[in-house]
Structure 1
């Protein structure tokens, strides 16, 4: 069944509507309507809001109708949300940024100082609007969002779910492109990985993709913000607090501008997904191949068993391993923290772990 989407180019000069039921059809129609001068095979499709690459029909099917995509030619690079939206605000929202000396100063400083200046201007927004929740009460906040998003809390919950889906598909893509999956003996590695991914997705669905992390009305033990919607940076991955205390704070519930800037904040994996967690998942599969492994739960060596999906779920998707950080505190170098091989015997396979 076809769904309607919105597609634009990297410069956002033209936005088109496209009805498609597959990724190939979506790219082909978008390529034609946008009049790209390269072949379809040289184009890639990204979710406009968070930059996630859409590379298969399964992921496309999880995205709602009217999702906005960016179609890039092979030689083009994604423009970050911060760069694009800052330029847009600079040109259209003069009440927040003086386009004269202040703008010149903003653009000439380094990134740390840049965010400090930006924070000062954003903080001048009407604080009274923070408490407003419904679209009818604060329509300006919802500009650019889907009509189905009726409250700020619903919209912020949707942003979390999109990030979680991104982590899932990054994990799935890495595992299914591995030698263990492609060249497994008798297809056993493929079966183990497929089952692991199915179990991982079931956990995500049962926990509603951790949608309450950004919801200010959720329980205090779950949400990452206070009751007004104020978020504070957690600092570098190996620190207990932010070194820029008082500067790295944001309330995306206050204004559309602050909501947009919040997209540049990262959920940083303290134990890295690509460098540590995924390699350990593949190592766990190799251990299962050998047939004699140590159970994570009972600490006994066993033969029949499976991957301890719960443990990896905690590391990929929950606050056990995720820290919300300002872009300045997002360290992209190697983290000195490691995952482990988590396997479970059949006797312990139904154990449960508390999810945060």
Structure 2
């Protein structure tokens, strides 16, 4: 069944509507309608809001109709919505120019000074509209968002869901790109990976994508913000708190500009997804494939068993391994912590024992 989408070029100079049933059809039609004089194979499709690469039909199917995408060709680089809105603000909203300049300076000045610029902007925000929730009450806040986002809480929940989906499809793409997936005997490796991904997705769906992390009306134990919607930086991945003494604070519920800037805050994996978790998952699956595993619980060697998917779910998608951090506190170097090969032998798995 075809769904309608919006697609723009990287400069947002042209935006088109496309009805497509799958990713290939969407790229082919978009390439033609945008007038790209290149082969479709040279084009890449990204979610405009957060820059997530759309890599397969499964991920496309999770996105709602009228999602805005950016189609890139050749060596073009993705421009996030933050940069796009910054330009839009400067050119069309005179009253937002100072805000736009502050945001631009925030992203380009010396990293040690960024938080000072950011705090200056935050202090000037209109706090009177913070607790308004419905689209009709604060329509400016919702500019650029889908009509289905009826209130601020729904919108912020959507932001979490998008991030969680991105983590899942990053994991999926990496595992399915492995030699084990493509070349294993009798497709046994492919079946093991597909089963793991099915189990992982089931856990994510059962937790409703942890959308309450950004929902200020959720239970205090679940949300990462205050009742007013203010978020505080958790500090560097290996720190207990932020060293900037409470100055890394943001409330995306307060204004549209603050909501946009909140996109630069990261849910940082303390144990890194690409460098540690995914390779360890693949290693554990290879152990199952080869019939050589060590049970996490009884520590016996075994030829049969299963992955403890719950443990990987906790590391990829939950606060056990995620912390919300300001861009200044997002350390992109290697984190000196590792995931593990979490496998259970058939006996421990059958007994239903879980690692705590």
Range of TM-score over shorter length: over 0.9
Whether the 8 Å CA contact 2:103–2:118 is kept in 1: the answer is no
**Residue deviations 1:65-118, cap 9 Å, x none?**
011100011120012344333333333444344399979977873244345324
Tell me the number of residue pairs that the alignment of Structure 1 and Structure 2 aligns. 354
Change (3 A) 1:99 1:205: closer
1:345 equivalent in structure 2: 345
Task: Measure, in 2, the Cα distance between the counterparts of 1:247 and 1:255.
Answer: 18
In the other structure, the counterpart of 2:66 is 66
Q: Secondary structure at the match of 1:170?
A: helix
Judge which range, 83-92 or 33-42, deviates more: 83-92
- 1:195 maps to which residue? 195
Aligned partners of 1:202 and 1:57: how far apart in 2? 18
Unaligned stretches of 5+ in structure 1? none
Distance (Å, rounded) in 2 between the aligned partners of 1:208 and 1:76: 35
Cα separation, 2, equivalents of 1:166 and 1:101: 30
Greater Cα offset, 98-107 or 58-67: 98-107
Tell me the equivalent position of 1:86.
86
State the secondary structure of the residue aligned to 1:95. Answer: helix
**Which position in structure 2 is the counterpart of 1:228?**
228
Aligned pair in 2 of structure 1 residues 106, 56: CA closer, same or farther (>3 Å)? closer
Per-residue CA deviation, residues 132-183 of structure 1 (Å, 9 max, x unaligned), is: 1111111111111111111111110011011111110100110011111112
Q: Which consecutive unaligned segments of at least 5 residues does structure 2 have?
A: none
Which residues of 2 match residues 267-346 of structure 1 at below 5 A? 267-346=267-346
Q: Secondary structure at the match of 2:71?
A: strand
The alignment's TM-score, normalised by the length of structure 1, stands at: 0.93
Structure 1 residues 140 and 186: alpha-carbon distance in aligned structure 2, compared to 1, 3 A threshold: same
1:19 and 2:54 matched = no
CA distance in 1, matches of 2:32, 2:212: 39
**RMSD of aligned alpha carbons:** 2.2
Q: Distance in 2 between matches of 1:151 and 1:23?
A: 30
Range with greater deviation from structure 2 (55-64 or 178-187): 178-187
Number of the residue aligned with 1:117: 117
Aligned position for 2:253 = 253
- Residues 215-265 of structure 1: CA distance to partner in whole angstroms, max 9, x if unpaired? 111111111111111001111111111122332110000011111111111
